Structure 1
Amino acid sequence: MKNKEIIIGANTANPLTARKPGYGTMRLTGEGFFGEPKDRDGAIALLRKAVEMGVNFFDTADFYGPGVTNRLLAEALYPYPADIIIATKVGAKRGTDKSWLPYGKPDELRLSVENNLLELKMEQLALVHYGKAGGSLHEYEEGLETLLALQKEGKILHIGLSNATVEQFNTAIKAGKVASVENMYSYTQRITDPDSPYGFQGGELLPLCEENQIPFIPFFSLQTSLPNEQNKMKDLAETRGVTIAQLNIAWLLHRSAWILPIPGTTSMQHLEENINAADISLSEDELTFLG
């Protein structure tokens, strides 16, 4: 598979080089993405194995757990190798009842950035994805202004977007340099689902990212919600002698050079399979078959 690297912040003075695929840490938390993992030692070993296999991009957030994945990353990898990129996100928090709550006011965003710095044992966050579901465009702009101020203060290197709408994307582009966009997108989730609680307009944002040369980071990329389409993936995976998950990752890598998959897992075997998926080449006929 070609294009195994992608530049984040290519149009800035401090670009970062990420290798594909990256790794999403959310699954390392407890049930409902809340609390400590059942096997903490296993989680630490998995993160270290990922680095050994060449992964250098890790996606996390201080509200995963909450605080669990940040602390696992620090325990497993600190002091961090020079090429490691840890991308976190702000704009949400977890309630004590495991609910997902907005946390995007200016003072809340500042607290979240400081919290991420503390938990990750960092003086500067390499990449912060800003996500704010709902609210007015004015409130969104206020949040962006806060993050841009934190960037000027040296606490953030690059600012990205998470769960962004097209309107929010265009607003952010006008306000400053957008380093990356993280939205829900997969082989079976390519169109806007207005009822989805997880993401907005991934299919509409990918071409905008390509046009602006901005990495697009799909989450929940192994979603399997359209059985008929997934049957094609199953048939081809059996023919090629690979797993459906591997073929999903390979499809994303062929879909666009600007896509950076971040599949997450708690299994060492699946981790190795996911990373090795970058070596799977798909022919034009196979891509046509998948649709």
Structure 2
Amino acid sequence: MSTITIARHSARPLTVSRLGYGTMRLTGPEIWGEPADRPQALAILKKAVASGVNFLDTADYYGEDVTNRLIAEALHPYPADLVICTKVGATRRPDKSWVPFNTPENLRTAIDNNLRTLKQEQIQLVHLRLMGHGAVPLDEQLGAMFEMQREGKILHVGLSNVTREELEAGLKIGEIATVENMYSYAQRTTVVLPYGTNPGGEEVLDLCEQHGIPLIPFFSLVHGLPNAGHKLTELARRRGISEAQLNIAWLLHKSPWILPIPGTSSLAHLEENLKAADIELSAEEMAYLG
């Protein structure tokens, strides 16, 4: 499996395998509550890491706190090369709605909670997820993140759910290690979902490439495949692979700066997704997909 380096110009860069694992699907329905099959959820985390995955994506508002606790239960004490990336900037209400949690005080509370539930003294990478764009100025949010970085609570700071303009503004405030946006073969630009607007990965990919910033696609399978169209279906059929595998392979071939994190609550699907890292697509096949 190929690798990618996060914060390559910093004093403490992180090199990880180019296929990570997103833990969101390990929760109950509507990304809320405990998993339906807890033993399988723990087995998935152990299998992913044993198979060479050393980048996990989580958030304390998954569950709530469910995925963080599962990671700690399955993997702590953590392997030396394991990078756990979490997100702050949002929270969940009892009605399961998603709301901003992004004042400097909110962000500090969230970081402290992530440190506690993940059993860490420092979080290697934290994405500031932008919600309620403009309600709390970006410089205030990022200022709080960089302050906690100076305190040693955070090693590297990334941005999630950002527009091109927000990324450009963030780059002027401080070092942005990674960007996490919705992105897949079929969903490349902004999409409006019940809980808010999600800028697409295609809108920031060239900026990420210019600055050497890994782009981490989220929801690459959940929102991508239903609208994928006949080309993905046809090529997957010809190659004898699943559409999900082809979607992951397309992301890996689209740019060397993309770090997919496909998630699943099925051990069988995890093994299927991992095999996508070995799929080679020709220039002709990429051109066919478009």
Quote the Cα distance in structure 2 between the aligned partners of 1:67 and 1:161.
21
Paired with 1:216 and 1:8, the residues of 2 have a C-alpha distance of: 10
On the 8 A contact 2:102/2:141 being kept in 1, the answer is yes
Q: Deviations over 1:57-94 (max 9, x none)?
A: 00000000010000000000000000000000000001
- Partner residue, 2:165: 167
Indicate yes or no: 2:272 matched with 1:267.
Answer: no
**Counterparts of 1:226 and 1:115, CA distance in 2:** 36
Aligned twin of 1:57: 55
Contact preservation (8 Å) 2:225, 2:244: no
Displacement of 1:230 in angstroms is 2.6
Contact 1:178–1:214 under 8 Å retained in 2:
yes
- Supply the distance in 1 between the matched residues of 2:242 and 2:21 (Cα, whole angstroms): 18
Between the aligned partners of 2:193 and 2:55, the Cα distance in structure 1 is 30
Deviations 1:112-168 (CA, angstroms, capped at 9, x unpaired): 000000000000000000012224286221010000000000000000001011121
Distance 1:141 1:225 in 2: 36
Distance 1:198 1:269, change over 3 A: farther
2-structure distance, mates of 1:189, 1:6: 23
Stretches of 4+ aligned residues off by more than 6 angstroms: none
Please name the residue that 1:127 is paired with.
125
Distance 2:136 2:118 in 1: 31
Specify which of 184, 188, 202 is matched with residue 186 of structure 1. Answer: 184
Secondary structure of the residue that 2:125 maps to in structure 1?
A: strand
**Equivalent residue letter for 1:234:** T
- The answer for the alignment partner of 1:149 in structure 2 is 147
1:199–1:52 distance in 2 versus 1, CA, 3 Å: same
What's 2:283 paired with? Answer: 284
Could you say if the C-alpha distance between residues 289 and 135 of structure 1 is closer, same or farther in structure 2, counting changes exceeding 3 Å? closer
TM-score of the two chains, using structure 1 as the length reference: 0.96
Equivalent pair of 1:172/1:178 in contact (CA under 8 Å): yes
SS of alignment partner, residue 86 of structure 1? strand
- Give the CA deviation at 1:201: 3.6
Residues 191, 197 of structure 2: 8 Å contact kept: no
TM-score (norm 2): 0.96
Contact residue 160 and residue 180 of structure 2 kept, 8 A: yes
With over 3 angstroms needed to count, the CA separation of the structure-2 counterparts of 1:167 and 1:137, relative to structure 1, is farther
Q: What is the Cα deviation at residue 190 of structure 1?
A: 1.4
Which residue in the other structure is 1:108 paired with?
106
* Aligned-partner SS, 1:174: helix
Looking at structure 2, the residues matched to 57 and 142 of structure 1 have their Cα atoms a distance apart, in angstroms, of 28
Give the 5 Å matches for 1:198-217: 199-217=198-216
CA displacement 1:207-246 (0-9 Å, x = unmatched): 110011100000011133664x432111111111111100
Over residues 31-52 of structure 1, what are the superposed CA-to-partner deviations in whole Å (9 max), with x where a residue is unaligned?
0000000111110011000111
Instruction: Tell me how far 1:171 sits from its aligned partner.
Output: 1.5
CA–CA distance in 1 between the matches of 2:270 and 2:230? 23
Aligned to 2:219: 220
Where does 1:9-88 land on structure 2 (aligned, <5 Å)?
9-88=7-86
Please say if residues 92 and 101 of structure 1, whose CA atoms lie closer than 8 Å, have aligned partners that are also in contact: yes
> What CA distance in whole angstroms lies between the structure 2 residues aligned with 1:128 and 1:14?
15
Contact 1:219 1:262 in 2 (8 A): yes
Please give the root-mean-square deviation of Cα atoms over the aligned residues, in Å: 1.5
* Secondary structure of residue in 1 paired with 2:274: helix
Offset at 1:195?
6.3
**Cα distance change on mapping 1:175 and 1:287 into 2, 3 Å:** same
Unaligned residue ranges in structure 2 (runs of 5+): none
Q: Which runs of 5+ in 1 are unaligned?
A: none
